[in-house]
Amino acid sequence: MNATKYNLVIILFLLVFKGFSQEILTKKEALKITLENNFGIKIANNNIEVAKNNASVLNTGFLPTIAATSGTNYRRENQDVTFQDGTNRTIDGAVTKSYNAALSLNYTIFDGLGRKYNYQQLKETYNLSEIQARETIENTYVQLFTIYFQIARLSENTDNLSEALLISKRRLERANYQYNYGQSTKLELLNAEVDVNNDSISYITAKQQLNNAKRGLNIILGIDKEPNYAVETEVDFNKMMNFDDLLQKAMANNALLKQNEQNIAISEFNIKINKSQYLPRLGFTSSYGWNQSDNPATSFLAGATITGLNAGLNLTWNLFDGGATKTRVANAKIALDNQQILLEQQKTTIQNNLKNTWENYQNQLFILSAQEKNVLTAQNNFNRTEERYKLGQVTSIEFRQAQINLINAKTVFNNAKFDAKLIEIQLLQLSGDILNVAF
């Protein structure tokens, strides 16, 4: 076995060993880790809990309030008292003590239906928080797969550059042998050395970009993971998609549109809440109290203990508040009108974005198909050029150009493949269907 073949076997062995030793982070695993650990998703879930607490009956005023109070008073003073019969009495340091305790209950029987509408509004706010959390998850999906496929892109490009470096090293060995045996010039050897150096720089740079991208993925995953893993580079496209179905799904499920619809519902309840100020309010109060006092000799009573229950109804009707309620109702109606306008604007925007993205997707699929043919052509051209180079029928410059053409064709094909997949993900997000697709 000559040196060239021996080196080739060693390099291939190392590549195979590396492939077996590297952990494969699948798209499914990456998605699972992200849903469990992503910081933005955690915050969104906490916001849902806050909205859930706010939408509880405990936060609506439907339940009565009960309060317990107690107190004591101590008074020491000098008294000079004249009674009705004309007698007079003077006491220095007269002490008066009093104690009290009470349990009171307050309940609003009717408040113009304000509580009811406020409760319903809080429920709509809770629904809005769920949609906002869904949007956060959708955006995280896009961020995750954007960087995941970027890593896949860089991985394949790095492999291409590694293969190119291997070819350049074989060429350098060949040029070195030919030069030593007087079969080629020094210029051929120098050109081969320059190409090896350039390919080495390109490979090292690509490796650094790949590691940087993997560290960026850690932020999305919400974990600290060493960049010594590989990712899936296979890409499957959703062949069942068509524009009419996407448009129908977008109008029904798009997260931004659903949020606009929830804001309209919230604004409608806001009008009703403000209108409730026109109606009277009826409240019920009740308390049970205990009072005890110890009085000085100058007092008519030496002491007293009083216990008892009292209850009452109170009615309040704000007949005229200077026009404040009327103003609030008018402004709430304007706010509702604005939300309806925003909904129509959002529908138009999403339709246009969907059309543009769909056309980009179709163009990218065509480019992908064309680039796949270019790779086959460039590969065939390189194979033929390599054979002719070994036979001395083409120059090293022609061989290098064929090699560069092959590297560029593979790189452009990889870029087209992953660009098409990312555009597909954008379509799924616009249609509101991204969370229902298996990756």
Residue 15 pLDDT: 46
Q: Structure pTM?
A: 0.84
State pLDDT tens for residues 291-322: 888 777 666 667 788 898 999 999 999 999 99
Residues of the chain with pLDDT under 50: 1-20
Whole-number pLDDT of residue 21: 53
DSSP 251-297: HHH-HHHHHHHHHHHHHHHHHHHHHGGGS-EEEEEEEEEEEEEE--T
Q: At what angle do helices 114-180 and 3-21 cross, to 10 degrees?
A: 170
With a CB cutoff of 8 Å and minimum separation 6, the contacts of 163 are none
SS3 content of the chain, % helix, strand, coil (to 5): 65, 15, 15
Which residues are CB-neighbours of 8 under 8 A, at least 6 positions away? Answer: 166, 170
Question: If you write DSSP's letter for every residue of 202-238 in order, what string do you get?
Answer: HHHHHHHHHHHHHHHHHHHHTS---S-EEE-------
The pLDDT assigned to 298 comes to 67
Q: How many CB atoms lie within 10 A of CB 106?
A: 14
CB 259 within 8 A of CB 131: yes
At residue 8, the pLDDT reads 43
Q: Mind listing the pLDDT tens digit for each residue in 388-401?
A: 988 888 888 898 89
